[in-house]
Amino acid sequence: MNRTAILKSLNKQLSLTESSKVLIVGLGATGFSVAKYLQQLGIKFAIVDSRDKPPLNDALLQDYPDTPVFTGGFDKAAFDVATHLVVSPGVSLQEEVIRKAIFSAAILVSDIDLFACSTMKPIVAITGSNGKSTVTTMLGEMAKASGIETAIGGNLGVPALDLLDEKIELYVIELSSFQLERTSVLGAKVATVLNVSADHLDRHADIESYAKEKQSIFSANSVMVLNEDDVLVKAMEREGSEVLTFTLKGKNGFHIETQNEQEWLMNAQQALMRKSELPLEGLHNTANALAALALGTAIGLNVKAMCNVLREFKGLNHRMQKVAKIKGVTWVNDSKATNIGACIAALKGYQHKVVLIAGGDAKGADMGELISIINNKARCVILMGKDADKIEQALNNSIPSYRAATVKEAVEIAAKLALEGESVLLSPACASIDQYKNYQERGDKFTAAVMSLAA
């Protein structure tokens, strides 16, 4: 789409014109991508950030020196003149100044809205509490292997607006609940909610509200790809919509079936590939593979190409990533497990006992939901971070637990506890922000500590 067509689309769908005054709230990667986009279209904008010096402040002032930037708090005057707000996902919509601005008729839009208004190419949108980055990457690679010019991003990696390119034939976008709660015009051709488990309950009122935000990923004409094993997701099915399902328990849609003493990934009656060919461990990764196959089928990808990608897919950094095997002990970095559901999925994938490293910022979740699986799969647990007490209290001395001040110290303790044939699993079930910049830094610290053991 050219500039004229984009402006026409923005006006029609978001009442956004060249005379609008857009306030970008939050100067991180998303906010910066919005600034670049608006600058190219000639739409006036200002930026506000509660931090004294946002991470991309210098880069913005270098590229766009005339941009009004308000830092060190949310300046009410900036909100008073705004016709549109683009609130970064990391900023809660419950901030009083934001609520008042929306009540006073400022239009809330997201970078995903702007992105959707700027392309006529098909969009596949993926969300869920767990597995969305893995499935997004799987599907993106499948599309590329099928010969389609594909861009992958959104909540994963590159901000959506930075993906826009006339050469792209398909966009595969990962979306968080925070992005979805402020998005209204996505219009995805195919969309999925992989699963819903307790997460971000410090920002959402309850799990039902959280699930409702996830459900908004489906547009009126979206092909719906649904997890048949998840009650909250299954309930999202809409009469009249085209629906594909995946399941680990049933025999419908994309599922697992035993034939001639081998387990196969199936699409209805069609055998696609042997389960043993998947290099990723864990039943949750089998579910991810089935979801990716369902999504790829919905957009007409080549079956052989999709299966070949799955045979070669080694996983993402910080997601069930094997770091090393030292003296018969396997060390696994699952730092991306920032919620209970992700930790449960990781533990379920083991047939043997593990030494579990967990803890951090629980984000208001009930740690009691973890206890049954920990008792079943872990021989002992090493706890760290802000909400270590919550996990320890929930365990109630059911298995041995130890305390560590940092992930490095947790690795040192685990090295003394782990037995040959076991795995040491960093799967925190909590966010990292109480101690680290993000889950990547936490995972990197874990990996460095493990590699120093190996040395």
Residue 62 exposure: Cα atoms within 13 Å on the Cβ side: 4
Average confidence (pLDDT) over 61-65: 92
Q: Answer yes or no: do 294 and 274 share one domain.
A: yes
Helix, strand or coil, per DSSP, at residue 144 = helix
Per-residue model confidence (pLDDT) at position 316: 82
CATH no. for residue 417? 3.90.190.20
Q: Answer yes or no: do 118 and 105 share one domain.
A: no
**Angstrom distances, CA of residue 300 to CA of 31, 70, 123, 295, 324:** 34, 47, 13, 9, 38
Q: Which of 151-155, 348-352, 424-428 has the lowest mean pLDDT?
A: 348-352
Q: Which of 229, 291, 219 is nearest to 254 (CA)?
A: 291
Residue 262 exposure: Cα atoms within 13 Å on the Cβ side: 11
Q: Which of 197, 142, 93 is nearest to 313 (CA)?
A: 142
Q: Answer yes or no: do 12 and 78 share one domain.
A: yes
Q: Can 255 be counted among the known catalytic residues?
A: no
Per-residue model confidence (pLDDT) at position 203: 52
* Annotated active-site residue in 84, 121, 155, 284: 155
Last residue of a domain, one of 259, 291, 312: 312
Q: Answer yes or no: do 175 and 221 share one domain.
A: yes
Q: Can 155 be counted among the known catalytic residues?
A: yes
Is the whole model's pTM more than 0.85, yes or no?
A: no
CATH no. for residue 49? 3.40.50.720
Angle at which helices 303-312 and 132-145 cross, to 10°: 130
**Sequence-separated contacts (24+) of 48-51 with Cβ below 8 Å:** 48/23, 48/24, 48/74, 48/75, 48/78, 48/79, 49/25, 50/74, 50/91, 51/27
The pair of three-digit structure tokens given for residue 125, joined into one six-digit string: 């949108």
Q: Can 84 be counted among the known catalytic residues?
A: no
pLDDT in tens, 244-264: 999 999 999 999 999 988 999
Q: Which of 18, 19, 13, 22 is nearest to 3 (CA)?
A: 18
Q: Answer yes or no: do 277 and 407 share one domain.
A: no
Q: Which of 99-103, 263-267, 347-351 has the lowest mean pLDDT?
A: 347-351
pLDDT in tens, 20-51: 999 999 999 999 999 999 999 999 999 999 99
The pair of three-digit structure tokens given for residue 241, joined into one six-digit string: 């919509």
Contact 150, 140 (CB under 8 A): yes
Q: Answer yes or no: do 119 and 97 share one domain.
A: no
- Phi, psi dihedrals of residue 183, rounded to the nearest 5°: -120, 135
Per-residue model confidence (pLDDT) at position 350: 86
Number of domains in the chain: 3
Q: Answer yes or no: do 181 and 264 share one domain.
A: yes
Predicted confidence band of residue 198 (pLDDT cuts 50, 70, 90): low
Q: Strands 378-383 and 354-358, how do they pair?
A: parallel
The mean pLDDT value of the chain amounts to 92
Average confidence (pLDDT) over 380-402: 94
Hey, how many other C-beta atoms are within 10 angstroms of the C-beta on 416? 8
Per-residue model confidence (pLDDT) at position 153: 96
Last residue of a domain, one of 44, 79, 109: 109
Average confidence (pLDDT) over 182-199: 89
Q: Where are the alpha helices (DSSP H) in 147-275?
A: 177-180, 207-215, 231-234
For residues 334 and 356, what is the distance between their CA atoms, to the nearest angstrom?
11
Q: Answer yes or no: do 150 and 281 share one domain.
A: yes
Last residue of a domain, one of 76, 109, 142: 109
Per-residue model confidence (pLDDT) at position 204: 47
Average confidence (pLDDT) over 269-282: 90
Q: Strands 150-154 and 170-174, how do they pair?
A: parallel
Q: Answer yes or no: do 296 and 377 share one domain.
A: no
pLDDT at 169 over 50: yes
pLDDT at 307 over 60: yes
Domain coverage including residue 424: 321-454
Q: Answer yes or no: do 125 and 242 share one domain.
A: yes
pLDDT at 180 over 70: yes
pLDDT in tens, 81-91: 999 999 998 89
Average confidence (pLDDT) over 63-76: 92
pLDDT at 158 over 50: yes
pLDDT at 434 over 60: yes
> pLDDT over 90 for what percent of the chain?
78
Q: Answer yes or no: do 264 and 192 share one domain.
A: yes
* Annotated active-site residue in 84, 121, 132, 212: 132
Q: Answer yes or no: do 160 and 262 share one domain.
A: yes
For residues 282 and 373, what is the distance between their CA atoms, to the nearest angstrom?
14
* Annotated active-site residue in 84, 121, 200, 212: 200
Contact 87, 22 (CB under 8 A): no
